[in-house]
């Protein structure tokens, strides 16, 4: 499925139906009274968050969305049928902005939330409504009001418990595949991950939602590599899992490079609680891996552990740690 995390759309709620100016027409009754019914209300455009969606791509192919108008009122005091609401499903984490793409209108942070983005018009009043002791045969009726219409922006910011960060080819996608139900693309070259991937890890009868974003390179906060467009997807994570290739010749440099990019993008993001994982420990001797861990732990400010995605015991250890980080 193609990924899209920002799109502009036009929405139009349905107009209300007109009231009816009808009069009774009955045999042998020369002057029948008013019997015009009210118009039906127009349908609204409603946005609803869905947990199982992770892209806004459908809105690229259909950018104009209109709800149904209400039917006009009729004689015999019949009210027109209201127009059906138009429900547009959006991924959990979607933010709604005004046309300037800066003014936030609504933020979907829970599944099943609904937001009326454009309210339907009210149905007009039939002439029966205007009958009085001094006006027994009113011809007055009102038309339905127009439904609201707007041009809005939808922006997706992934919501997950844990965000996996690191340089390209650090093994982030391999870890996501090993501990969750996700099936990301995996290969030994930079930027295998081109879009955020989401997965759910189950441990001790609890679920942890994990997001993997494309690897960060120097200048990512300025847009270098796949850069800033994906850093926003880990802003809402409760904690971070910082992946580092243990075979890297300069672990400290790799670590500080990623931390620097996070800080330059958002100081708040750089201060999130993190678990540092030295990955690919199966590629070196166990004794050497422990020595590297001991040396690096003196530099890193966060808890550090070693991992091989090929070992189930190692994977369960990471799951347990992540659960303690987000509980």
pLDDT single digits (tens) 140-198: 999 999 999 999 999 998 878 898 888 887 777 778 888 776 554 433 333 334 467 77
User: How far apart, in whole angstroms, are the C-alpha atoms of residue 220 and residue 271?
Assistant: 18
Enumerate the H helices of the chain as residue ranges: 58-61, 172-179, 228-231, 251-265, 267-270, 286-297, 312-326
Per-domain residue ranges of the chain: 1-157, 162-326
Query: Which of residues 182 and 47 earns the better pLDDT score?
Result: 47
Helix, coil or strand: residue 266: coil
Q: Is residue 229 very low, low, confident or very high in pLDDT (cuts 50, 70, 90)?
A: low
Question: Does 320 score more than 60 pLDDT?
Answer: yes
User: Could you read off the pLDDT of 136-153 as tens digits, one per residue?
Assistant: 889 999 999 999 999 999
Nearest alpha-carbon partner for 251 in 288, 214, 220? 288
Nearest alpha-carbon partner for 153 in 97, 89, 87, 103? 97
User: How far apart, in whole angstroms, are the C-alpha atoms of residue 214 and residue 98?
Assistant: 29
**Domain 1-157 adopts which CATH fold?**
Spo0b-associated Gtp-binding Protein; Chain: A, (2.70.210)
Q: What is the pLDDT of residue 152?
A: 98
User: How far apart, in whole angstroms, are the C-alpha atoms of residue 154 and residue 160?
Assistant: 19
Nearest alpha-carbon partner for 236 in 263, 264, 209? 209
Q: What is the pLDDT of residue 221?
A: 46
pTM over 0.85: no
Question: Does 212 score more than 90 pLDDT?
Answer: no
Question: Does 132 score more than 80 pLDDT?
Answer: yes
Element (H, E) at 286: helix 286-297
For domain 162-326, give the CATH number: 3.40.50.300
Between 26-35, 112-121, 176-185, the lowest mean confidence (pLDDT) is in 176-185
Largest CA distance in the chain: 108
Nearest alpha-carbon partner for 3 in 53, 51, 48? 53
Q: What is the pLDDT of residue 219?
A: 52
Q: What is the pLDDT of residue 208?
A: 86
Nearest alpha-carbon partner for 210 in 56, 318, 96, 94? 318
Which range, 26-40, 51-65, 142-156, 231-245, has the best average confidence (pLDDT)? 142-156
Rounded to an integer, the average pLDDT of 278-288 is: 89
Q: What is the pLDDT of residue 190?
A: 39
Rounded to an integer, the average pLDDT of 226-251 is: 82
C-alpha to C-alpha distances, 103 to 106, 121, 153, 154, 194, nearest whole angstrom: 9, 24, 10, 11, 28
Q: Is residue 312 very low, low, confident or very high in pLDDT (cuts 50, 70, 90)?
A: confident
Q: What is the pLDDT of residue 199?
A: 79
Catalogue the E-assigned strands of 81-161: 86-91, 94-97, 104-107, 114-118, 149-156
Angle between helix 286-297 and helix 251-265 axes, rounded to 10 deg: 50
Reading the block at residue 135, the tokens are 């006006």
User: How far apart, in whole angstroms, are the C-alpha atoms of residue 254 and residue 277?
Assistant: 12
Q: What is the pLDDT of residue 211?
A: 83
- Would you say the CATH fold of 162-326 matches that of 1-157? no
Rounded to an integer, the average pLDDT of 98-114 is: 96
Q: Is residue 218 very low, low, confident or very high in pLDDT (cuts 50, 70, 90)?
A: low
Contact indicator for 245, 306 with CB cutoff of 8 Å: no
Sole residue written with tokens 């009726």 = 141
Which range, 124-128, 186-190, 294-298, has the best average confidence (pLDDT)? 124-128
Q: What is the pLDDT of residue 74?
A: 97
Q: What is the pLDDT of residue 317?
A: 86
Reading the block at residue 319, the tokens are 């799951």
User: Could you read off the pLDDT of 243-281 as tens digits, one per residue?
Assistant: 999 998 899 998 998 888 888 888 888 889 999 999 888
Q: Is residue 115 very low, low, confident or very high in pLDDT (cuts 50, 70, 90)?
A: very high
Q: What is the pLDDT of residue 185?
A: 40
Q: What is the pLDDT of residue 142?
A: 98
Question: Does 220 score more than 60 pLDDT?
Answer: no
């Amino acid at each position: 499925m193609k990924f899209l995390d920002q799109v502009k759309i036009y929405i139009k709620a349905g107009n209300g139906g007109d009231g009816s100016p009808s009069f009774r027409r009955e045999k042998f009754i020369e002057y029948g009274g008013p019997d015009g019914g009210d118009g039906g209300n127009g349908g609204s455009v409603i946005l609803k968050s869905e947990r199982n969606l992770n892209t806004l791509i459908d809105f690229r192919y259909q950018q104009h969305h209109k709800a149904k108008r209400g039917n006009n009122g009729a004689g015999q005091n019949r009210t027109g049928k209201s127009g059906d609401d138009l429900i547009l499903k959006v991924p959990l984490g979607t933010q709604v902005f005004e046309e300037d793409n800066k003014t936030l209108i609504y933020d979907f942070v829970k599944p099943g939330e609904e937001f009326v983005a454009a309210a339907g018009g009210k149905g007009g009043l039939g002439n029966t409504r205007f009958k009085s002791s001094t006006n027994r045969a009113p011809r007055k009726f009102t038309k339905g009001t127009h439904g609201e219409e707007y041009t809005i922006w939808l922006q997706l910011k992934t919501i997950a418990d844990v965000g996996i960060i690191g340089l390209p080819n650090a093994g982030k996608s391999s870890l996501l595949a090993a501990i969750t139900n996700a099936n990301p693309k995996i290969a030994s070259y930079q930027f295998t991950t081109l879009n955020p991937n989401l997965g759910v890890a189950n441990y001790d009868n609890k679920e942890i939602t994990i997001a993997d974003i494309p690897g960060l390179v120097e200048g990512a906060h300025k847009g270098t590599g796949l850069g800033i467009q994906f850093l926003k997807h880990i802003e809402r994570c409760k904690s971070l899992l910082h992946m580092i290739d243990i075979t890297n010749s300069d672990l400290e440099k790799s670590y500080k490079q990623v931390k620097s990019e996070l800080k330059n993008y958002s100081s708040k993001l750089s201060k999130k609680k993190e678990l540092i994982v030295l990955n690919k420990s199966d590629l070196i001797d166990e004794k050497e891996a422990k020595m590297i861990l001991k040396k690096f732990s003196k530099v890193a400010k966060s808890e550090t552990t070693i991992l091989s995605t090929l070992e189930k015991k190692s994977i369960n250890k990471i799951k347990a740690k992540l659960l303690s980080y987000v509980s």
